[in-house]
Structure 1
């Protein structure tokens, strides 16, 4: 990188430093100074049963959301990359339209659909399938559904990149050797898209770790995740030191996952 490139990137680096690095350093300072200097807040964050329970719930929800999002995105991407013109157009609309709708609007939309007096329960009761409304929100089910809906489009792009890189000659050769479609898919096609699957998994999991709006609305305070716990500790308790310590730990975890994703991307490029 030449000095000219560095000069051109200078304003952007200054903006990113002012917007992200400086606030993060302030949060780090809170974590070791409030309410008193030391690492006591980190010990609390790593040993407190309440915090550990929220962390475990977050990891469990994120893992489930990642599996469901990547699996659904894989099917959509397969149709998008290898389907007919009409199917591709439909999938493209399904991928692009969610980007035009804010996460807050989507969360309230799911709340209107799934609440006890929502459209889904009303329809099921009208046709006689159920007599009492199902509890579809203010629990982990609603949180997972809302997060999966938001994250599927993000998983599509790394999968599409790996699927488009598959050598058709390999598939034709296996087909010519008499392999069935199912065997070609599971033993040839899926392994050849492994880099895209891993990239999608890491991308979705990192996004899911920091979710706040969707769990807060669809969870109704009964499925608190790490980001919501940080908000509660800083703005409602207030326990700024503990909230800051949890924030730093979360940032370190996200940074490690991003480094792993970049390493995997470089390895796939080679």
Structure 2
């Protein structure tokens, strides 16, 4: 019985080491030292939007973490020297923890102010077309032809088997949706990838506004909303399971087409395809 208890205790201790949150094994290799926070030697500097974090404290395991003014964590590292880019203007906080054999020692936080957005980082014309930079850009449905449908190969794979589209004029096809103010959608790069969507209800003119952030991969023509959903018009919401994962079908200074996937059509005769909404800049 005693032997069984000994084995069980050993197993519990092994599990405790396996799931430990601190680098115990690495710290055991460090010299025995009692480090005072005032002895931590670090620097955080920037040239424009290029940021360098340097630890010159000997005999410690470094741990960096950095966040924006809203408290969103942007990244972390256990390297002595960290080179990264903060693409947006704003105030950032950099924290440093030195792990020693005697435990973790927290340094005083460093504050870094980035004066402007990184013009090179956002040099692709798509960013200006979509957001107008820090100032922002608001889009509304283009009621001359607000909606269309397309195959999944459209428009970037013209040799694909599912390459087709139908973008009807609203005149003569008023059945696609009522002609009313469906709301607006605003993008800006003011300290982050910001998006705000004001959506008008289907039956009434009541509006709700949601704000969040977005990601845009220019190479893959994909966009993702977090905290908001794409502006839409008409009775199509139940036919789509995801209104936050989008495809950029067209983007010019005066025209934006975004699509969602019709993957749960209520009409059994309607198969999966892209539902493509057409937007224009708000006047």
- How does the TM-score come out when normalised to structure 2? 0.19
Of structures 1 and 2, the one scoring higher in RCO (CA 8 A, sep 6+) is 1
Query: When you count helix as a share of all residues, which structure comes out higher?
Result: 1
Query: When you count strand as a share of all residues, which structure comes out higher?
Result: 2
- How does the TM-score come out when normalised to structure 1? 0.20
